[in-house]
Amino acid sequence: QETTIEEVKGIPDSFLEIEVRAPQTHGTGFGMYTDYEIVCRTNMPMFNFKQSTVRRRYSKFESLKFKLEENDYEIKVPNLPGKVFTSRFSDKVIEERRQKLERFLQIL
C-alpha cells in the first residue's frame, strides 16, 4: 500500500491551495469565451469556508492584476499569460492558459 505525503509529514499547520480547472467555452461567433473553475481550499481560520469555488473568465484575471497593481500593494504581481488571437479555443491553447492562470494565482 502506498503512503501519502500527508501520512509521512502530517497535514501542515496552515495551507491554502488554489486550483484552476474545468475550462468551459460558451457562446458562438464573436461572443465566444472560455471560463475556468477556481477552487480554493484552506484550513486557515481567517477564511469562513474551508473550500470555495467560482467560475471566472480571463478578463477577470486581468481586472485582478490591474487592481493589485493600482493599489500599490507591496507584492510583485506576476504576469498573466498573453492574449491569444489565433486558435484561442483549441484544447491545447485552453489547457496552456489554464495552467498559466493557476500558476498566476498560486504565486500571488
- Closest-CA residue to 6 (of 48, 43, 51): 43
Q: Crossing angle for the helix pair 58-70 and 91-107, nearest 10 degrees?
A: 30
Q: pLDDT (tens digit, 9 = 90+) per residue, 32-57?
A: 899 999 999 998 888 888 999 999 99
pLDDT higher at 1 or 90: 90
Query: pTM of the prediction?
Result: 0.78
Kindly state the DSSP code that residue 14 receives in the 8-state scheme. Answer: S
Which amino acid appears at position 30 of this protein? Answer: F
| Domains recognised in the chain with CATH numbers | 5-99 (3.30.1520.10)
Calpha distance 33→102 (Å, rounded) = 18
> Which pLDDT band, with edges at 50, 70 and 90, does 5 fall under?
low
Q: What is the pLDDT of residue 34?
A: 94
Is 93:34 a contact under the CB 8 Å cutoff? no
pLDDT confidence of residue 83:
78
Sheet holding 51-57, edge to edge: 16-26, 33-42, 51-57
Q: What is the pLDDT of residues 66-99, one digit of tens each?
A: 988 887 667 788 889 887 777 778 889 999 999 9
Amino acid at 107: I
Which tops the pLDDT comparison, 7 or 55? 55
